[in-house]
Amino acid sequence: MERFRVVGGARLDGEVRVTGAKNSVLKLMAAALLAEGTTTLTEVPHILDVEIMGELLRRLGCTVDYRPEERRLAITVPERPGHQADYDLVRRMRASICVLGPLVARCGEADVALPGGDNIGSRGLDMHVAGLERLGAVVENEHGYLVARAPQGLRGAQIWLDFPSVGATENLLMAAVLADGTTVIDNAAREPEIVDICRMLEGMGAKIGGIGSSTLEVVGVDRLEPVVHETVPDRIVAGTWAAAAAITRGDITVRGARPHDLDIVLDKLATSGAHVEALADGFRVAMDRRPRAVDVVTLPYPGFPTDLQPQLIVLNAVADGAAMVTENLFEARFRFVNELTRLGADVRTDGHHALVRGKEHLSGAPVEASDIRAGAGLVLAGLVAEGETLVSQVHHIDRGYDGFVESLVALGADVRREPDPDYPQEG
C-alpha cells in the first residue's frame, strides 16, 4: 500500500496529454469476446483496471498481450471462450459485469460474480437482468453469481431502460449484436464511451442505428470479426486537468482531448473566471485569480458528469462565494466530503445536496481516498492546502489515472509516491 505526499502551494503550468478513456477501454476489451481471433486496441491507458480486466479475459481462455509503453493491447479470443468470471477479480472492479452480455451472446451462458468497485453508492443490476430476459435469457442469482442462460440463442426485443444507465446500455448492446432479429433500446445512455463501443462494434460488422441518440436500433448478425480500434480520449481525466488549472490558478494545455465532450464542464470553469480556449487537438484552461463559486448539478450525458463532481467541490471549497452541488446519480459520492473537511473545507451535505462555502485557504492533513475521483479531488485539494497532505489508499487513483504523479510533477507540483506506514507492506 502506498500514499501520496502532496506539498501545498503549487501553481500548475504546462502541458499534459490524455490517453484512451478508462470508462471505454474496459468495455471495448469485453466486446472483443464477441469475435474469434485477435482484436487490437490502441491508445490504451496504463492503469490498474486494464490489468485486472486483462487477467479476467485470460481466465476466460483469451490470450492478452498488453504493451503499456506502446498503449496497445491485443486480445486473442478462442472459438469458444470460458463463461465464468470469478469473484476474486470481479470484486475489484465493477466494470467486470460488462462481460455478461458478450458471454451470453457468444456462448449462450455466463456465470459472472456480483461486482465490487468504488464505494459511491448502490448501482443495481436490475436493468441488466431485465433487458437480458427481454432478449430471451433466463437469469438467476446463485451463490453470489449472476447466472444467465440462453441455450437457444438470444432474440431481438424492444427494451426500455428506466434510467439511461451506461452499464446496462453497454451490456444489452453487446448482447443484441448477435441476437436473432432487431433490438431497440430506448432511453439508452448517450455518453461518448457508448458511441465509442458502437463504432468498434460497427467495425466488427454489427448493424447499429441511432448512434449518439437515446434510441439504439440493433439488427443482429450471425458473426462478428476482430478489428483494430482506437480508444476514445478520456474526458474525465481531461476534465480533471481542466479543474486542476482553475483550482491552482494555473495554466494547463490538455492535448489529445475533445473539448466538445466537456462542453458543460468547460462552461462551468469559464463561469468561475477561467480562460478556456479550444484547440485543434485539445484545450487550454488558465486562471489568474481566485475562482468564483459555481453551482453544479450532475446528470447523465450531456449533463455534468458525476465523475467530475469531487473536483468541482474542491474548486468551490477555495472559491469566492458559496455554491450548491447536487448529486443525482450516486448517493454515496459525497463520502469524500468528510475527508475534504479534514483539510478545512466548509461543506455541508443534506441528502443529495452539498452547500460549499469557499475559504481563502485549506490546511494539509492526512486523508483517505474512497474511490478514483475522490482520490484525485483530494490530491488537487492538497495542492492548494498549506503544508503537507498525505493521501492514502491511492490504489483507487491508479485504477483511473495513467501516470498521475508524473504528470503533476511535470506541471510543477511537489508530489511524491511513498510507502504508507499505516498499512503492512508486501514482502
Where residue 114 falls among pLDDT bands split at 50, 70, 90? confident
Of the listed ranges 88-92, 171-175, 300-304, the one predicted with least confidence: 88-92
How many CB atoms within 10 Å of residue 116?
14
Please report, as a single letter, which amino acid is at residue 301.
Y
Cell (9 digits) for 351? 441528502
Please report, as a single letter, which amino acid is at residue 415.
V
Taking all residues of the chain, what is their mean pLDDT, rounded to a whole number? 94
The residue with greater pLDDT, 267 or 89, is 267
pTM of the model: 0.95
- Spacing of C-alpha 408 from chain mean position: 20
Where residue 86 falls among pLDDT bands split at 50, 70, 90? confident
pLDDT above 90: residue 415: yes
Q: What is the pLDDT of residue 95?
A: 77
Q: What is the pLDDT of residue 89?
A: 80
Binding-site residues for phosphoenolpyruvate: 22-23
Q: Which residues are catalytic?
A: 118
Task: Give CA–CA dist 75/204, Å, rounded.
Answer: 14
Q: Which of 175, 152, 261, 157 is nearest to 212 (CA)?
A: 261
pLDDT above 90: residue 118: no
pLDDT above 70: residue 121: no
pLDDT above 90: residue 92: no
Cell (9 digits) for 282? 485539445
Where residue 287 falls among pLDDT bands split at 50, 70, 90? very high
Where residue 254 falls among pLDDT bands split at 50, 70, 90? very high
pLDDT above 90: residue 54: yes
Cell (9 digits) for 195? 458511441
Q: What is the pLDDT of residue 119?
A: 42
Query: Would you list the DSSP string of 63-105?
Result: EEEEEGGGTEEEEEE-SS---EE-HHHHTT-GGGGGGHHHHHH
Three-state SS at 350: strand
Q: Residue for cell digits 503533476?
A: 408
* CA 335 to each of CA 207, 243, 315: distance values in angstroms, whole numbers, following the listed order: 42, 20, 17
Measured over the CA atoms of residue 341, residue 345, residue 348 and residue 354, the dihedral's sign is negative
Task: Confirm if 268 and 252 have CB atoms less than 8 A apart.
Answer: no
Give me the mean pLDDT over the 317-322 stretch: 98
Task: Give CA–CA dist 247/281, Å, rounded.
Answer: 23
Q: What is the pLDDT of residue 116?
A: 52
Look up the CATH number of domain 22-222: 3.65.10.10
pLDDT above 90: residue 78: yes
Task: Give CA–CA dist 202/342, Å, rounded.
Answer: 49
Give me the mean pLDDT over the 133-147 stretch: 92
- The CATH H-level superfamily of 2-18+233-419 is Enolpyruvate transferase domain (3.65.10.10)
Give me the mean pLDDT over the 249-266 stretch: 98
Binding-site residues for UDP-N-acetyl-alpha-D-glucosamine: 94, 307, 329
Where residue 120 falls among pLDDT bands split at 50, 70, 90? very low
How many CB atoms within 10 Å of residue 387?
14
pLDDT above 90: residue 91: no
Q: Residue for cell digits 452499464?
A: 167
Q: What is the pLDDT of residue 144?
A: 82
Strands 282-286 and 138-142, how do they pair?
unpaired
Strands 296-297 and 275-279, how do they pair?
unpaired
Taking the CA atoms of the chain, what radius of gyration do you get in angstroms? 21
pLDDT above 90: residue 191: yes
Q: What is the pLDDT of residue 88?
A: 81
Q: Residue for cell digits 482506437?
A: 230
The residue with greater pLDDT, 235 or 95, is 235
Q: What is the pLDDT of residue 424?
A: 65
Domain(s) labelled CATH 3.65.10.10 in the chain stretch across 2-18+233-419, 22-222
